[in-house]
Amino acid sequence: MFSHHFDQTPGAKVALHWFMLSFSGGCINAGGFLATGKFVSHVTGFATLFGVDVIHNQIHAAMGILSVPLFFLMGAFIAGLLIDRSIHQGKNPHFDWVMGLSALCLFLAAGGGEMLLFGGFSEVGLKQNYFLLVLLCLASGLQNGAITSSSGRSVRTTHLTGLTTDLGLGLARTLTFDLKKNLFQKEARANYLRIGSILAFVVGSAIGAWVFIKVGYKGFTLPGLIATYAAWHGRRSKIVARVLPPL
């Protein structure tokens, strides 16, 4: 799960793990939207909402909504400290810690929601669900940081913009490399994983939406269990530390 790159031939289990985390990202985003009316696994929407609130002279709300994606950044920062930094220092990265923290955030979201700490499910309003947004953005940042590091910055599991761009470029490259067998196979392999990740995210969004409509906040236990499995797998796997390639 945490030691393969597009320049390697991934086994079916590795691909399944990446798709599983994309499925989880779709679940989190669907649950966050149904609970709060906002998409939580990426930061683009928050920047837009900030601009809309400023135009409507709702400065307090604007500053509040702008602070939420900082927790996505914090999650990625923590993942960088526990994973990237360890790799560059020649130490074993702590994928298990990062995914364990992500799971904890999701279980807190489920438990806190059931205790009505965030207001009623689908009760839209920043004041009511600010801390729920914080937990979901932090969980997403942690997960995205972990899989981005382990895949050599090739995979994103909590949003589709970068993946879709990479897929479009990859499809064009397969036409360019059609006479160069090694390059063609590498790009075709990458496109397969990108398409699978996109489809897994979409399926996760659909199934997640159905689950959240049925059980409300308890639905966050589904991505929480997936993150727990990822943490367990990260702990039992033997990770070979290596310096990440430059951007």
Residue 62 near residue 53 (C-beta atoms within 8 A):
yes
- Within 8 A by CB and 6+ apart from 55, the residues are none
> In this structure, what DSSP letter does residue 243 have?
P
Which tens digit of pLDDT belongs to each residue from 124-144?
777 778 899 999 999 999 988
Which tens digit of pLDDT belongs to each residue from 156-188?
666 666 777 777 877 777 777 655 666 777 777
- Within 8 A by CB and 6+ apart from 104, the residues are none
The stretch 74-80 carries a mean pLDDT of 91
pTM of the model as a whole = 0.82
